[in-house]
């Protein structure tokens, strides 16, 4: 009788270990997939910036330095994709700042052109 109880405890412990291991692997895979999804979104963002610049260029021919900043920030962000997360975050923040500046200039230009007409 004692042997069956001991065997039952061992089986329950083994099932718990297997279940815990499977849960840990599942969490690890979710973490990796989250990182991959972020990489995909950043790549899409980088790929859309040239289209955005071409669209805005026609309206804002006088702001060449802003375009240059955005293009340089994009290139740095793309080159930092293989680097660590901290370096990639720095370059992504610089890209966001450049895009914010370009959007602000575009909005000001749009408002000024509306008030002239």
pTM of this prediction?
0.53
The low-confidence residues of the chain, meaning pLDDT below 50, are none
Q: What is the predicted pLDDT for the residue at 25?
A: 96
Percent of the chain with pLDDT over 90: 23
Closest CA to 73 of 38, 49, 48, 44: 49
* Distances, alpha carbon 25 to alpha carbons 12, 15, 37, in Å: 20, 15, 18
Q: Tell me the C-alpha distance between 51 and 33, whole Å.
A: 28
The secondary structure element, H or E, covering residue 62 is none
How do residues 34-60 score in pLDDT, each as one tens digit? 988 988 888 888 888 888 777 766 666
């Amino acid at each position: 009788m004692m042997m069956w109880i001991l065997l039952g405890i061992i089986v329950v412990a083994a099932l718990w270990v297997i279940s815990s291991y499977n849960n840990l692997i599942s969490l690890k895979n979710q973490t990796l997939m989250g990182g991959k999804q972020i990489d995909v979104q950043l790549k899409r963002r980088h790929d859309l910036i040239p289209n955005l610049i071409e669209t805005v260029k026609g309206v804002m021919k006088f702001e060449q330095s802003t375009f240059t900043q955005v293009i340089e920030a994009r290139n740095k962000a793309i080159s930092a994709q293989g680097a660590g997360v901290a370096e990639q975050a720095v370059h992504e923040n610089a890209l966001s700042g450049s895009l914010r500046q370009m959007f602000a200039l575009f909005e000001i230009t749009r408002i000024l052109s509306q008030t002239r007409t």
